[in-house]
A and B are shown apart, each in its own frame.
Chain A
Amino acid sequence: MKFLPLLWSGLWRKKIRTIFTLLSVFVAFLLFGLLMTIRGAFSFGVEIAGLDRLILIHKVSLIMPLPVSYLPRLNTTEGVTMATHNTWFGGVYQDPANFFAQIAMEPEPYMKLYPEYKVSPEHMKAWLADRQGALVGVDLARRFGWKVGDRIPIVGTIWQPKQGQVWEFNIAGLYDGESGVDKTQFFFRYDYLDENRAGGQGLVGWYIVKINDAAAAQQMGAKFDDMFANSSAETKTTTEKGFVEGFAKQMGDIGAIMIAITIAVLFTMILVAANTMAQSVRERTSEVGVLKTLGFSNVSILALVLGESVLIAVIGGGLGLAASWAFVQQGDPTGGMLPIFVLPTRDVAFGALLIVALGLLAGALPAMNAMNLKITDALRRT
């Protein structure tokens, strides 16, 4: 520790170079943090999708509705904990660019199936008491400045009301959740939709079934599909995780390619920074000779040189990661297109590892050289 001032003054030997090296490392890790966030956003929350929840959709396509009459049959099937249904509403709030998911549902069963959505008992009670009530995610409410009690008009696109085109909702409550949970959705009551829509009574979008044993997901899925085989609405069952993954894959390789290119380039940038850091050590061969003459042991020389490069990496990279984290805390900058916009802890840890690796890698070779240097050789060099 007593060498810290020595380390520090070595760092500032060439101010400009150190500052720019720090800045390069800073930018590299700021980018790293943002990229990991974008990568997570493109996978649509597959990380938190449940393995014990199955999704039943119409066999031909997701857009084909299923009859509501499947619900009691699913609920009475052995091995089923609980089943419920959802219907995609796809309405427009003020402008088509204000996209967010609106889902018609049965409040109580749904909230039991998805304990990750946190609602206060008062809000839940208010929602159950108001047919026109809606439960909205805290991020969505923040985006449009909505408060509990606000009246929200939404123009129907798929489902038209019996009169006009506008559906009216009251915000009965807000839901929250941990990071990684999509807090941009708009939940409302299926009974309100079904009674007031001009057509399509008794139809739902898809079913969600929680099963007792996640290991039996495959057999249960096959069982459901057999139950409804040869009916007018045959089903296709997948685990929720498989469903979300399949959906993310529909985005195609665009996200993957964008991230692959950038990560490749990012690593080049990090190597470039490492090269600069190594160069700064190489230039000081004669100083190392002086230190050795003064009686510094080989190990302390090694520690000194490594310490310097690790210090640069930790300061620059640490600040970069912190800045990306701070940016991500502001929420989705695209206004609704990337609902899950968080920097996963796992990636922060990976970034921290990368920082230390960068410091060690950049310092290792010059440090070894410095350690093995003969005093006479070192002093002779300029």
Chain B
Amino acid sequence: MFNWIGQTLAVTALNLRTIPQRLGSSGVAIVGIAGVVIVLVSVLSIAAGFTAAMQNSGSPSRAIVMRSGADSEMTSGLSGAEVDVIKQAPRLRRDGQTPVASAELYVIIDIPKISTNTPANVPMRGVQQTAMAVRNEASIIEGRMFEFGTNEIVVGRGASGQFAGLTVGNEFKSGQDTWKVVGIFETDGGVSETEIWCDSRVLQGAYRRGNSYQTVLAQLDSSDSFNTFRDWLTSNPQVNVQVRREADYYAQQSRALSGLIQGVGFGIAALMGIGAVFGAILTMYTAVSTRSREIATLRALGFNATSVVVSVLAESLALAAIGGALGGVTAYLAFNGYQTSTMNFSTFSQVAFAFQVTPQLLVMGLIYALAMGLIGGLFPAVRAARLPIPTALREL
């Protein structure tokens, strides 16, 4: 037994030490596997970043009230009277007499994207005085909050970076209205950071919405109160609404796009993986066939077949590990934190987010690389072990 381990270790060490002699073909295998890992990790980092931005947006103790049948804030509509009813619902947190809930409008405003200089659908939210109290994670990081009753706006950190002219002190015209940026806010990386906030009354006028809103965002007295709050509203004949937890609402919105990106990412990586496995097989076959005499000599000296199999597999796994690590590091350096924005089709508006190369993705890339190495090494290893000793010794 110890003999066997000793043999295996000796042959494996021999193989690994001689990798530099076969730099050309080993390099091919490493590059092939690294390439696949780069594609897998970087494409999935897009989906990870997008999903993270959406998940950071929802708090379980907040509920979002929309007209029943509306699939997003964009298509919802609530009358002023309905909003008054919603604000009387039980289990809603109250600050003295004031309900901690904000009736809001959610519209799109055309602003050019800095990177392409083409118009983009930037979400604009009309909020009430309670908006900051409802969203306790929100804070102004530059300038100040806007004055209610004026055409002042505050801009999310992401929007300010992605769209033209959204810096503090700047004014811009849209239709017949002129908006003045007075502050930048953040919300812990959530989607609201792509939004522009202004007074809901002013926005009602600008978009000719009369006294109507689209959603009510409500802070509940605890996250367990959700069912009571929802049931009271959905069974109330004065209003025709649906109530969702904010976290659920955003999770559902991210599903379609991140599903698409993940599908494309996994699909392409799987296909490329097959290609890379072929590359690894070729490399290991070449490695085995150039050394058939050495291998046969070892066997003739009494080394057993298993140790030869293990040594070839170990070499292939080592190459795969180098490739996987190389690919992961490249993807991390190239894409982690890359800021971009895309269209969220459920609200028809832009979402800014950053690519995230998470540790899970790196581990996944490495595992995938090792799997490719294992499959790629298996056939050549078996072939090496089965090599008839006399023929191999005679081979040139």
Q: Give A contacts to B, CB under 8 Å.
A: 16-17, 20-21, 23-24, 27-28, 30-31, 34-35, 38, 58-64, 90, 92, 96-97, 99, 155-158, 160, 165, 232, 234, 236, 245-246, 249-254, 257-258, 261-262, 265-266, 268-269, 272, 275-276, 279, 333-334, 337-338, 382
**Cross-chain contact B271 with A96 (CB below 8 angstroms):** no
Give min CB distance, B181 to chain A, whole Å.
17
**Cross-chain contact A276 with B36 (CB below 8 angstroms):** no
**Cross-chain contact A27 with B207 (CB below 8 angstroms):** no
Give min CB distance, A167 to chain B, whole Å.
11
**Cross-chain contact B274 with A27 (CB below 8 angstroms):** yes
Q: Which 8 A-B pairs have the closest CB atoms?
A: A27-B275, A157-B75, A265-B35, A60-B175, A252-B342, A61-B108, A250-B343, A24-B278
0 or 1 for each of B256-285: is its CB under 8 Å from A? (1 = yes)? 100011011101100110111011011001
> Assuming the A-B contacts A261-B39, A334-B263, are A268 and B31 also in contact, with contact meaning beta carbons closer than 8 angstroms in the complex?
yes
**Cross-chain contact A24 with B279 (CB below 8 angstroms):** yes
Given A23-B278, A269-B35, 12 more pairs with CB closer than 8 A: A35-B268, A38-B264, A60-B110, A62-B348, A158-B75, A160-B69, A250-B350, A254-B261, A254-B342, A262-B268, A265-B38, A279-B286
> Assuming the A-B contacts A38-B264, A63-B348, are A20 and B282 also in contact, with contact meaning beta carbons closer than 8 angstroms in the complex?
yes
Complex: A245 Cα to B275 Cα, angstroms: 34
By beta carbon, the residue of chain A nearest B376 is A20
Contact of B121 among A232, A245, A250, A333 (CB under 8 A): A250
**How many residue pairs bridge A and B at CB < 8 Å?**
159
- Of the listed stretches B3-11, B111-119, B304-312, chain A binds B111-119
Indicate if B220 sits at the interface (CB-CB under 8 A): no
Complex: A250 Cα to B256 Cα, angstroms: 16
Sample of 13 A–B contacts (CB below 8 Å) = A20-B278, A20-B281, A60-B109, A60-B207, A61-B107, A62-B108, A63-B108, A64-B207, A158-B75, A265-B35, A268-B35, A269-B272, A276-B282
0 or 1 for each of B56-82: is its CB under 8 Å from A? (1 = yes)? 000000000000111110110000000
**Cross-chain contact B340 with A254 (CB below 8 angstroms):** yes
Q: Give B contacts to A, CB under 8 Å.
A: 24-25, 28, 31-32, 35-36, 38-39, 42-43, 46, 68-72, 74-75, 107-110, 113, 115-116, 118-121, 174-176, 206-208, 256, 260-261, 263-265, 267-268, 271-272, 274-276, 278-279, 281-282, 285-286, 335, 340-343, 345-346, 348, 350, 396
Give min CB distance, B33 to chain A, whole Å.
11
Complex: A246 Cα to B274 Cα, angstroms: 37
By beta carbon, the residue of chain A nearest B120 is A250
Which chain B residues border A34 with CB–CB below 8 Å?
267-268, 271
**Cross-chain contact B39 with A165 (CB below 8 angstroms):** no
Give min CB distance, B234 to chain A, whole Å.
14
Complex: A251 Cα to B28 Cα, angstroms: 35
> Assuming the A-B contacts A31-B272, A62-B108, are A261 and B75 also in contact, with contact meaning beta carbons closer than 8 angstroms in the complex?
no
Which chain B residues border A246 with CB–CB below 8 Å?
118-119
**Cross-chain contact B43 with A258 (CB below 8 angstroms):** yes
Which chain A residues border B108 with CB–CB below 8 Å?
61-63
Give min CB distance, A184 to chain B, whole Å.
14
Which chain B residues border A269 with CB–CB below 8 Å?
32, 35, 272, 275-276, 279
Which chain A residues border B116 with CB–CB below 8 Å?
249
**Cross-chain contact A28 with B39 (CB below 8 angstroms):** no
Complex: A96 Cα to B249 Cα, angstroms: 13
> Assuming the A-B contacts A165-B68, A276-B282, are A265 and B39 also in contact, with contact meaning beta carbons closer than 8 angstroms in the complex?
yes
Complex: A61 Cα to B69 Cα, angstroms: 23
Complex: A296 Cα to B254 Cα, angstroms: 66
**Cross-chain contact A245 with B268 (CB below 8 angstroms):** no
Which chain A residues border B279 with CB–CB below 8 Å?
24, 269, 272
Complex: A157 Cα to B68 Cα, angstroms: 9
**Cross-chain contact B256 with A337 (CB below 8 angstroms):** yes
**Cross-chain contact A276 with B28 (CB below 8 angstroms):** yes
Which chain B residues border A64 with CB–CB below 8 Å?
107, 207
Give min CB distance, A69 to chain B, whole Å.
16
Which chain A residues border B38 with CB–CB below 8 Å?
261, 265
By beta carbon, the residue of chain A nearest B345 is A99
